[in-house]
Chain A
Amino acid sequence: MKKILAICRREAFAYFYGPIFYVAATFLTFMIGFTFYQIVKHGSGIDANIGYITEMGGSLLLFITPMLTMRLFAEEYKQGTMESLMTAPVTDWQVVIGKYLAVCAVTMAMFLPMLVHVGVLYALGKPAAATTLTLAAVLFVWGAFYAAVGLLVSAFTREQVVAAVLGLAANVVLWIVGFWLGQTDFVKRVEWLDKAVSYVGFYTHLEPALRGVVDTRDIVYFAGAIVFLLFATVRVLESRKWRG
Chain B
Amino acid sequence: MPVVKVEDLTKRYGQIVGIDGVSFEVEKGEVVGLLGPNGAGKSTTMRILTCFMPATSGDAQVAGHDVFSQSLEVKKHVGYLPENVPLYPEMRVSEYLDYRGVLKGLRRPERRKRTAEALERTRTKEVAGRIVGQLSKGYRQRVGLADALLHDPDVLILDEPTVGLDPNQIRETRALIKELGESHTVILSTHILPEVEMVCSRVLIMNAGKLVPQEVIDRYLKRSGFRLVLTGDWPGIQKKLTAIEGVSRTQLLDKTPELTVSVETRQGTDLREKIFDAVVGGGGKVLEMRQAALSLEEAFTRITTADTAAADEEAA
Footprint of B on A, CB under 8 Å? Answer: 2-3, 6-7, 9-10, 13-14, 17-18, 79-91, 241-244
Contact = CB atoms under 8 A, between A and B. Distances in A.
Given A10-B91, A241-B54, A87 B80 contact: yes
21 contacts: A3-B102, A3-B103, A3-B105, A6-B99, A9-B99, A10-B91, A10-B99, A13-B90, A14-B90, A80-B86, A84-B80, A87-B75, A87-B82, A88-B75, A88-B100, A88-B103, A89-B104, A90-B75, A242-B53, A244-B18, A244-B47
B147 interface: yes
B107 to A, nearest CB: 9
B87 interface: yes
Interface string B38-58: 000000100100111110000
B50 A244 contact: no
B72 A89 contact: yes
Q: Interface residues of B toward A: which range? A: 20 to 34
Nearest to B16: A244
Interface of B: 11, 13, 18, 44, 47, 50-54, 72, 75-76, 78, 80, 82, 84, 86-91, 99-100, 102-105, 144, 147
A17 B90 contact: yes
A82 B51 CA distance: 12
Contacts of B47: 83, 244
Nearest to B75: A89
A14 B89 CA distance: 10
Given A81-B88, A242-B53, A242-B54, A2 B82 contact: no
Nearest to A9: B99
Given A3-B105, A87-B80, 14 more contacts: A6-B102, A10-B99, A13-B90, A79-B86, A83-B47, A83-B82, A84-B80, A84-B82, A84-B86, A84-B100, A87-B75, A88-B104, A242-B53, A244-B18
